[in-house]
Chains A and B, each alone.
Chain A
Amino acid sequence: MGHKTYHDITEDLVGPTEAAPTKLWMLGVIISVSLFSFGIFSLCWTFYFGIGAWNLNRTIGWGYDITNFVWWIGIGHAGTLISAILLLFRQRWRTGVNRAAEAMTIFAVMCAGLFPATHTGRPWFDFFMFPYPNTRGPLWVNFNSPLLWDLFAISTYFTISLLFWYTGLVPDFATVRDRAKGFRKKIYSFFAMGWTGKAKHWQRWEYLSLILAGIATPLVLSVHTIVSFDFATSVIPGWHTTIFPPYFVAGAIFSGFAMVQTLMIITRKLLKLEQYITINHIESMNKVILVTGTMVGSAYLIELFISWYSGYIYEQFAFYNRILGPYYWAYIGMMGCNVLAPQVFWSKKIRTSIWWTFFMSIFVNIGMWFERFVIIVTSLAKDYLPSSWSYYWPTWVEIGIYVGTFGLFFTCYLIFVRVAPVVAIAEVKAILKQYGDQYLGPDATEAPHEEHASH
C-alpha cells in the first residue's frame, strides 16, 4: 500500500459509503431487484399451485431445488474459510478480502436456506422442523436424520457467520459514524453500538474474533460434511459413498473461492480498491482454487475407481450412466469446468491475470453447479426398476426461483457495498506497519518514532 497513512486508508475505504450512488450501481440494483421479484413471483406460484408446478416426479424426487441449495451453501463456505481458517493460520493477505467474503457467505446462506424453507410448497409449516412440544401427538423430529442435522448446521452456520461478520464491522461502523453528520450519524451510531476504541475493548474484541474463528473452523467443515450426509447416508447408488464429506468440503471451498473472485474483481474495479485487493490476493485465491479443484478432480476419479472395484453392478451402472447416460452433457460440463479448466492456474501468468481469473471463476461456478446436478439427478433418473426410469428438466417456475436467489444475493451485496466498508478498515490499519513498505521491524513498538512523526 505504498506510503498511505491511516487517514488515507479511512478515506479510501469509507469514501464509497459517503459518495452518491453511481448510475452503474443503480442499474445493478434495478436488475437484481427485478430478478428477485421474479423469484418471489415463482415462489408464490409454487405456493399457490403446490410443488406440482415443478417437474419432479416419482423417480426423480430431488432435482433443481436441492441442487441449488447445495450450490449456494457451497458458495457460502469461502467467507468463513477466509475469515476463520486463514486468521488462525495468520495469513495476513486475508485482510483485503475477508469482509466482503464474509458478507458473501451470509447472503449465500440466505439464498441456500430459501430452498429447504420453501421446498414443500407450504413454508408456513416450517416450524414443524424444530423440536418443540406440539399438539401433533406430540410428534417429535427425528434426531437420527441428516436432514434435521442440516437444519441445525445451517442455522448455526448462519448465526455464527453473522456474529463474526458484525463484530468485525462494529469498529468500522464507528469510523463511518465519526465522520458522518446529521441523520446519517444517527443511523451509524445505532449500528456502531457505542464503540469508542478503548484499549480494553480492543483486547476483548480480538479475543472474541479469535475464539469465534476457532469455533467457526470446525463449524465450516461440519456444515458441508452434514450436507453431504444428506446423500451419503442414503442407499442410492452414486450417493452412499464414504468419500462424500471431504469431497463436498473441498468442492465447497472451490466454488466459494470462485464466487469471491467474481465479486472481488468487480468490486475492486468499481470501488477503485486495487491497492487493497491486490493481484497478490487474487493469485493466492487462485492457488486455493487450483488445489481444491484438483482435490475435487481426484475425488471424481476415486469415485469411478471405487464403483468399478466394488464389483456391485448397481453402483457401476450409476457411474456408467453418469458418463454415458442421457445426462452425459452435465458430466462433461462438470469435468471440463471443475477439473480441466482450473489447471491453467499452474501458469503464474494466468494466475495473475484479472481477465483469466474472472472467466475461470465463472467456469468454476458453472462446473460446481453441474457437479451437484450430476450427483443428484443422474443418480435418481435410472433406479433399480427400468420401467420407472425418467428424465428431469426444470420448469420455468424452478428456474425462476433459482434466478430469484441471484437477485436476492446481488441485491444484498450491492446494498452492503453502499452502506458498509467493503474492506476491514481497522484490520488493514493494524497490519500496515507490520508488512510492506512501512514495515517497522520485528518489534514495531521499539522503532524510533521521530521519522514517523514527520509524516
Chain B
Amino acid sequence: MAAKYKDVLFGLYNDETILMKAIKTAKAKHLDIMDVYTPFPVHGLDPLLGLEESRLHIVGFIFGLLGTLTALCGISFIFGGSLLFEGDWPTIFGGKPYWSLPAFIPITFELTVLFCGIGMTVVFYLICGMGFGVDNPVLHDRITDDKFCIAFQTNDMDDSGVDELKGFFNETGAEEVHTKQI
C-alpha cells in the first residue's frame, strides 16, 4: 500500500543549465527522480526526463469534433423540428433553401472552436489535479521564482540511500537541499 505521505528530499539549483546537467548525472546513476519543478518551461527537459508527448491535442480534436456535430445536428434538428413537430413556429425564408449548409458554417465553426477550447482546458486542469481553491503542496517558495528543483521520494529508503542522494546534490551543484513531507 502506498504511504499516505511522501517524504521528499529535494535540491534547488540556480540555473536551468546546471539543472539539466544534474538530471543527466542522475539518469547516468540510475537515480529515480520523483519530479522536477521549474519556474518556467525549460526546453529540452521533457526528453531528458523521458516524459511522453502530451495527448492534449487528441482531447482538443475530440471535443472540436463534438462541437462540429453538436452545431450541425442541433441546427438541422431545430430547422427540421420547426417543420415536422406540431406546434413549432415555422421558420420561413422567402425562396431560399430551407436547409442551407453555407449559412450554418459560421456557427458550426464557432462551436467547434468553443468546444475544443473549453474541453481541452478543463481536461488540462483535471489531469494536472488543479482547480480553483486546490492547494497542492509546494516544495519551496522560490520554485515559482528563480529556483530549479529536483525531488526524490525517500519513503522506505535507508540512510545510505538518502546519503547517496545528498552526495548527488552536492556533486551536481545544488545550492540548497531540503526535506519535506507532502
Enumerate chain A interface residues (CB-CB to B < 8 A): 5-7, 10, 131, 136-140, 142-144, 146, 148-149, 152-153, 155-156, 159-160, 163-164, 167, 170-171, 174-175, 177-179, 189-191, 193-208, 211-212, 215-216, 218-219, 222, 226, 229, 425-427, 429-430, 433, 440, 443-445, 447-449, 452-453, 455
Contacts and interface: CB of A to CB of B under 8 A. Distances in A.
A194 B134 contact: yes
- Assign chain B's interface to a size class: 35 or more
Contacts of A140: 78-79, 81-82, 88-89, 91
B116 interface: yes
A56 to B, nearest CB: 26
B36 A449 contact: no
Most buried by A among B46, B93, B109: B109
A219 B118 CA distance: 14
A208 B146 CA distance: 23
A203 B41 contact: yes
Contacts of A445: 16-17, 20, 43-44
Contacts of A170: 130
Contacts of B43: 430, 444-445
Contacts of A163: 117-118, 121
B64 to A, nearest CB: 8
Contacts of B171: none
Contact of A6 (B39, B120, B125, B133): B39
Contacts of B18: 449, 452-453
Given A144-B96, A156-B114, A222-B110, A212 B103 contact: no
A211 B38 contact: no
Nearest to A206: B41
A152 B109 CA distance: 10
Nearest to A164: B117
B9 interface: no
Given A5-B146, A198-B37, A152 B17 contact: no
A222 B109 contact: yes
Contacts of B54: 203-204, 207
A67 B48 CA distance: 54
B138 A205 contact: no
Contacts of A179: 141, 145
